[in-house]
A and B are shown apart, each in its own frame.
Chain A
Amino acid sequence: MDLERKLVQWRKEGLIDQTAVERIMSFEKGQPQKRKIPLLLLIGLIFFALAAFSFIAANWQAIPELLKVALFVLLMWIFYVLAYFSEKKHFGQPVIFRLLSLAMFGATILVTAQTFHFNLSNSVLPWAIFIAALAHYFVWRHMAYAVTAFIFGLNTLVTLVPFTGWIEWSIFVGISLAWFYFSKDDTPKVFSWMLLFFSGLLMWDLVTYNSPFWPIWTLFVLILLLFIVPVDARRFLSPLYLIFGAFMLIVYLAVRGETDMSLVDLNWPESIALAVTGLAVLALTYLKFRSIMWISILGAMGLLLFDDTAIALAIVAELSALAYLIIAQRKNQSLAPGFIYFIIVQFVIYVIYAWERLDMSLFFLIGALLLFALSGVGWWLNRKKEGAAT
């Protein structure tokens, strides 16, 4: 044994004495021995698995329909049983085994679809895995299932397009709302919030009226969610409103600056309704959720979009970014998110107004100088803030 040889060597060199050697030896003997799987056995198992898979693959067409499906159901059960015992006997990771079971469930549906010539473009698979993963989350409360549910929730939304029906949309929103309401942790709440937001975007597919403002209406409606969450969760969720609001403002600015907005029905009645709602949101957020007051700016979007030069919108974006930064600095809050928003606004404005008017080399040269200047300002602000803190 290596350790024994080393100890003898150290004793001969006079580094340690005989009693120390004996004490180390007796300590090491008391340690639990690592059980190693022999390499040959491991290689054998891998070859066996490969052989089994290739045997099944080679005879796939000859296997009866039901047996194909049963084979994958069996695999799913094997992983569930493994998960159960891994939890009980403390070996391996139960969550990994259960995720594998979930994957096998997905594979079962794939195989069923293939066996019965069922078109996969319909949304049975994402719906099934979305709901199954959510059920896993509520039984075992592990983040991995929440992530899986979120991914397949998004997948489900995507497969609903372009023939979204009210029934499946309502079911999806109902499930996401239930997830939002009943999840105890913050991150799953964020996931379900995002699913709710994205299902609002499906209005473009659901109704024939092409409003340019579905994202803003959705964000405004989602404020109601803050009433049903505890105060701690509110603090966790409010940055989401700001991030999504800021992102929307930038997207509207880019779209207004670069396109003629012919795909949507921009009209006065909706714009005025949005402005009035914006005022209501301002009042509500001022009274209740002051940290997300900024999103009421989006209420003005309806009126701002009528200006096809996008200058008014650019001014609003610029002023809101600056105001946010100044207030954040005064309150000694983190400047990073406000500053990132500020930089993105500068660059969107720069691309809108300079892209076609400048020679390319000049465009990038001025862009680089602008970036240097902005990062300099950021560094200076940060230093000042640190100085104030100490």
Chain B
Amino acid sequence: MKVKAWLLPILLTLFVAILVASFYAASWFGEQYVLRAEPFDPFDPFYGEYVLLQYPDLNVQSRSFEGPVYFTLKEGPDGFAVIDRIEDEPFFGAIRGAAFGRQITAPQLEQFYVEQGRGPELEQAVDLQVTIDVAPWGFIRPVSLDVREE
């Protein structure tokens, strides 16, 4: 009984540790990209203030996709990330996202929690940039959200 009583809390703690480590792993082993971003509806729900983002550079002109897509990023000529490869089927290193017409987004990129009170400021700035770390296996860790300097 003694072991049983403590097994679950230990397992749950391990789970949290792995979850946290997976975010750090993206920074340790991955590459960093800076994405052009625009806020489209900052608001303040239960979890605290966060900014919903869309990405003007993440789009495909060649053909249209619908539903889940898999893509990788590369640094564009102006230093901001653009889509490198995009497929309908998963491949190693791909970020899982969704296509809405020609616009691409990934669930982990859609929202960014910000300090209380910073939401309206970012909304007014409109031109933003998001720094993310992408692990070789396609996991994303958003690192920071700032006003874009161009």
Binding site for B on A (CB under 8 A): 61, 66, 69, 73, 76-77, 80, 84, 101, 105, 108-110, 112, 114-122, 124, 128, 132, 135-136, 139, 163
Contacts and interface: CB of A to CB of B under 8 A. Distances in A.
A69 B15 CA distance: 12
B5 A84 contact: yes
A66 B20 contact: yes
B16 A112 contact: yes
B19 interface: yes
A117 B108 contact: yes
A117 B4 CA distance: 34
B34 to A, nearest CB: 15
Interface stretch (B55-63, B71-79, B111-119, B121-129): B111-119
A139 B67 CA distance: 41
The 4 closest A-B pairs by CB, nearest first: A117-B142, A119-B107, A116-B23, A80-B9
A128 B15 contact: yes
Given A76-B12, A84-B5, A121-B107, A69 B20 contact: yes
Given A61-B116, A108-B16, A163-B68, A120 B9 contact: no
B111 A119 contact: yes
Contacts, number: 65
Interface of B: 4-9, 11-13, 15-16, 19-20, 23, 47-48, 67-68, 107-108, 110-113, 115-116, 141-142
B150 to A, nearest CB: 23
A66 B112 CA distance: 18
A73 B13 contact: yes
A240 to B, nearest CB: 30
30 contacts: A69-B20, A73-B16, A76-B9, A76-B13, A77-B9, A77-B13, A80-B8, A101-B9, A105-B16, A109-B16, A109-B19, A110-B47, A112-B16, A116-B23, A116-B142, A117-B108, A117-B111, A117-B113, A117-B141, A117-B142, A118-B108, A119-B108, A119-B110, A119-B111, A122-B107, A124-B19, A132-B12, A135-B11, A139-B4, A163-B67
Contacts of B5: 80, 84, 139
Taking each of B5, B7, B108, which has the highest tally of chain A beta carbons within 10 Å of its own beta carbon? B5
Contacts of B141: 116-117
Given A116-B23, A117-B142, A61 B115 contact: yes
B130 to A, nearest CB: 9
Nearest to A124: B19
Contacts of B142: 116-117
Given A69-B16, A117-B111, A128-B15, A135 B8 contact: yes
A108 B16 CA distance: 8
A338 to B, nearest CB: 44
B108 A114 contact: no
B16 A114 contact: no
B8 A139 contact: yes
Nearest to B108: A119
A132 B8 contact: yes
Contacts of A108: 16
A136 B23 CA distance: 27
A94 to B, nearest CB: 10
Contacts of A66: 20
A121 B111 CA distance: 11
Contacts of B107: 119, 121-122
A122 B5 CA distance: 30
Given A112-B16, A117-B108, 12 more contacts: A61-B115, A69-B20, A80-B8, A84-B5, A114-B47, A114-B113, A116-B23, A118-B23, A132-B8, A139-B4, A139-B5, A163-B67
